[in-house]
Amino acid sequence: MILKELARNRKLVINYYKNGLLQTCKGSVELLNLHEQTLNLKDEKENILQIKLSWIHDIAPTAG
């Protein structure tokens, strides 16, 4: 169910832990790699961020 929601092309807010610090990123899912357990997220500035699925604290759709 969660993976199905991630596969939708819509804007998300993802809170994740990296190096012990809570980070927040807004963007849309570019690639969901289940083999490597990673999520590529394209932010508002067109940067691609690679986030490990185990780092994710929570995911929410953006307002609007």
At residue 2, the pLDDT reads 66
Q: How many domains does the chain have?
A: 1
Pairwise CA distance, residues 17 & 21, whole Å: 5
Domain that holds residue 16: 1-59
Tell me if 8 is assigned to some domain. yes
CATH of the domain at 53: 2.30.30.520
Tell me if 6 is assigned to some domain. yes
Tell me if 32 is assigned to some domain. yes
Pairwise CA distance, residues 18 & 46, whole Å: 21
Pairwise CA distance, residues 4 & 20, whole Å: 28
pTM more than 0.85: no
pLDDT digits (tens, 9 = 90+) for 6-58: 667 688 999 999 999 999 999 999 988 989 999 999 998 999 999 999 999 99
Tell me if 48 is assigned to some domain. yes
Tell me if 64 is assigned to some domain. no
Q: Decide: 3 and 52 in contact? Cβ < 8 Å.
A: no
Q: Which helix (H) or strand (E) holds 28?
A: strand 21-33
